[in-house]
Amino acid sequence: MVYSFPEEVLEYVFAFLSSDKDRNAVSLVCKSWYEIERWCRRRVFIGNCYAVSPQIMIRRFPEVRAVKIKGKPHFADFNLVPERWGAYVYPWISAMARSYPWLEEIKLKRMVVTDESLELISKSFKNFKVLSLSSCEGFTTDGLSSIAANCRNLRELDLRESEVEDLSGHWLSHFPDNFTSLVSLNMSCLGSEVSFSALERLISRCPNLKTLWLNRAVPVEKLASLLRRAPQLVEFGTGACSTEIRTDIFSNLVEAFSGCKHLKSLSGFWDVVPAYLPAMYSVCSRITKLNLSYATVQSPDLVELISQCSNLKCLWVLDYIEDAGLKALSSYCKDLQELRVFPSDPYSAEPNVSLTEQGLVTVSAGCPKLQSVLYFCRQMSNAALIAIARNRPNLIRFRLCIIEPQAPDYLTLEPLDTGFGAIVEHCKELRRLSLSGLLTDRVFEYIGTHAKKLEMLSLAFAGDSDLGLHHVLSGCESLRKLEIRDCPFGDRALLANAAKLETMRSLWMSSCSVSYGACKLLGQKMPNLNVEVIDERGPPDSRPESISVEKLYVYRTVAGPRADKPDFVWTMDEDGALRFS
């Protein structure tokens, strides 16, 4: 019988449960299991910082060691969320500083982090080990100085893709001379040059350093010296590699790389002069991840490098690779799981490279393990999509961006409904999908019918009517995140599927046809949702109710309406009254 197990035994068993899903399930069995589990949960993941409050988290889980929090909606990456929208981390840090003195890990994504927050982190948690700020903003290099100076046991400092106000490179010099615990450092987003000698010394005294992503300011002629001090590196990101090629630089680099027997991942390569690439050939056969998305190198040079990477699992590259390069990829890299092709010139109407749908079709045919795709191109056809779907039913993530909005099948001039329909029909494990091109309501019918495991869907310039949105909301059983821009979806589908929104993390709709009146109604009907209208034209009730709102962000929450709204966000309250910020 369950109730005869002593607590210690249950706690011991629960310690083996790492997934949140399992721990949540365990918590629902009975009250005593709930109690035991909540005291021994060490890691908490909060997918939406406004879905729950720091106080609620702390009350339920008093002994947390690691926290991961996400803030702004994904479309913030493309400047669709206005500045000052929110996602401030300070209230979380300040609450945790009081209640989690043994906190070791803070990982944040798309949050606003101030120097004040960083200083508080550096002073509040004696055993602090991991700070990861992904796509965050609001802090300066002064905040980094606090972290460097005070976090004596720091293992990871990862600033990937954050916008940091770069006052100087001096922050790195704040790591004390007896600081040796660094395992991972990602400073690739920073602009300023750090003191090179401080960097060398830091690397020399941290024997466990496995990950080092430099910033652009570190020139290629200095890389050899760093690599020689850290031959144990597993992940390495270069700085700019634009110095005119010289034999001594090159041969030093060759020697240094050949000493790195554990290197699995390479990145950086800003402005890389192609002649430097062969310096890396000695490590290529062990490389599993290669990020060449900052390298403006032409296809033949890319192919030379890639053809040596027989164990490549993940490739990020610019469209300079072209169809020919992708063909080579598909023949040399049979273990490829993830491919991302970024546009070198996204704003040009004419193609500047010879990259078409054919490249993706070829890779889908040649790489049997391919499961994750992000692909920017200028033309697509239903035939190609159908081929991709048939070739790769094991796809999990498929994000296609045809650069011209509403571009039809370039062969038949039809919508791309059947093509994407084939994707969702064949790829039964698909979890993430981004659509583009000319699409009618029909594609949503296919999605609602087949995409039963789909968790995240991104739409732009697609569909004809509310029916499209209705198909998605009523059919996609696993849907957690839906983000929509510039689609003719309005009130009816939204209100008819209001209950669905409580089963999802969030819904974003901008430049659609949802009226203010419908937003108010939704807010009234659904007390467990925050229905936030974002409108920079002024208070929505200064306009007729039938007017569409600019942007709508709906998310489930147990924390009630948020108190930190800026003046262009309104929460639709249950009693129908406007809440001003």
Partner 1 sequence: MDMISKEHKKEKLGFEETELRLGLPGGGGIVNGDLVINGKRGYTETVDLKLNLALKETGKEENSQKEKNLISCSNDSIKSPYKAQVVGWPPVRSFRKSIMAVQKRNSEGGGAAASFVKVSMDGAPYLRKVDLNMYKSYQDLYGALGKMFSSFTMGKCDSRGMMDFMNERKLMDVLNGSDFVPTYEDKDGDWMLVGDVPWEIFVGSCKRLRIMKGTEAIGLG
Positions in the binding site for partner 1 (CB under 8 A): 75, 77-80, 82-83, 161, 163, 165-167, 189, 191, 193, 216-217, 219, 240, 242, 270-271, 293-294, 296, 318, 342-350, 376, 401, 403-405, 460, 485-486, 511, 536
Show the CA angle centred on residue 434, arms to residues 296 and 394, nearest 5°: 90
First-last CA distance in the chain = 53
Whether the CB-CB separation of 99 and 126 falls below 8 Å is answered with no
Cβ at position 58, least distance to partner 1 in Å: 33
Radius of gyration over every alpha carbon of the chain, rounded to an integer in angstroms: 25
Cβ at position 99, least distance to partner 1 in Å: 35
167 contact partners, CB below 8 Å, separation of at least 6? 140, 141, 142, 192
Q: E strand or H helix at 134, and its extent?
A: strand 130-134
Cβ at position 453, least distance to partner 1 in Å: 23
Q: Which is nearer to partner 1, 75 or 88 (CB)?
A: 75
Q: Which is nearer to partner 1, 255 or 404 (CB)?
A: 404
Whether the CB-CB separation of 281 and 250 falls below 8 Å is answered with no
Of the candidates 531, 401, 501, the residue with the CA atom closest to the CA atom of residue 461? 401
Cβ at position 341, least distance to partner 1 in Å: 12
Instruction: Concatenate the DSSP letters of all residues of 293-345 into one string.
Output: TT----HHHHHHHHTT-TT--EEEEEGGGHHHHHHHHHHH-TT--EEEEE-SS
Q: Which is nearer to partner 1, 103 or 226 (CB)?
A: 226
Q: Which is nearer to partner 1, 281 or 342 (CB)?
A: 342
Show the CA angle centred on residue 13, arms to residues 8 and 16, nearest 5°: 135
Q: Which is nearer to partner 1, 219 or 231 (CB)?
A: 219
Q: Which is nearer to partner 1, 232 or 243 (CB)?
A: 243
Torsion angle, CA of 447/450/453/454, rounded to 10 degrees?
A: -10
Q: Which is nearer to partner 1, 53 or 379 (CB)?
A: 379
Strand partners, 349: none
Q: Which is nearer to partner 1, 408 or 468 (CB)?
A: 408
In whole angstroms, give the CA distance from residue 459 to residue 471: 14
Strand partners, 459: 484
- State both tokens at 35: 């109690």
Cβ at position 391, least distance to partner 1 in Å: 25
Q: Residue 251: phi, psi to the nearest 5?
A: -70, -35
Q: Is 40 helix (H, G, I), strand (E, B) or coil?
A: helix
CA distances from 196 to 57, 152, 188, 192, 221 (A): 42, 21, 15, 11, 12
Q: E strand or H helix at 67, and its extent?
A: strand 66-70
Cβ at position 335, least distance to partner 1 in Å: 26
Of the candidates 403, 353, 359, 361, the residue with the CA atom closest to the CA atom of residue 382? 361
Q: Which is nearer to partner 1, 190 or 212 (CB)?
A: 190
